[in-house]
Amino acid sequence: MDKVIIAGGGLAGLLLALLLERASIDYVVLERSSVAKMPLEGGGVIWITSQIQPLLQQLGLLDNLRNMSKPMTHFTILDGSFSFLGYGYHSLSISRPDLYNFLFWCVPVTQNRVYWMLDELLDKPQDCPDVEDWSGVEKAAHEMCEKYRLMKSPLDGILLGELFDLTPHGTIIALPREEGFFSTWTRGKVALVGDACHK
């Protein structure tokens, strides 16, 4: 293999670049943005689950990543159940811009922030390509926040509405979790990873 071309310097592209670097495989990252930095405001919370953490540990990144993220130590789930058994790692929560900057610079930082996420079960499964129109995602996000303002948060004595009010306006987003089934992820020497798989 002469050289791997990575189209896009997003999270998946940067992680792939790190893997290739450790494997001494020649590569180039092509990114259309002239500034290699995500905006400080914007982008949702990333959950780093137990499936990916062994890889980050092998790369020597996990300890630093833990220092700049928040462990997900418990869940508050209505009408359901959840078990921590058999995972071996607590999931970590971190903002997308912070994770991007971490992968880009691989320098540990500490931020005193609260990351939150609100899931809502829709009336029917969202199977691609027949998904609901999410063109007004910003409006949908704020309508959802208003709906749950009086619900208690996992933080003692704090309502979800108080978290909403303290969150910078541009960082509240709504993301549909579409259930897509793709039979083809690769063609020849091209493979889709990350956001490219569903955009």
**Per-residue pLDDT tens digits for 27-86:** 888 877 655 445 444 556 777 877 788 888 888 888 878 877 877 766 555 444 444 444
Q: Is the pLDDT of residue 104 over 70?
A: no
Q: Is the pLDDT of residue 178 over 80?
A: no
Query: Could you give the CA distance from residue 89 to residue 81 in angstroms, rounded to a whole number?
Result: 19
Residue with the bigger pLDDT between 161 and 196: it is 161
Residue with the bigger pLDDT between 105 and 117: it is 117
Backbone angles phi, psi at 98, to 5 degrees: -65, -40
pLDDT of residue 107: 30
Lowest mean pLDDT among 75-79, 127-131, 164-168: 75-79
Q: Is the pLDDT of residue 26 over 70?
A: yes
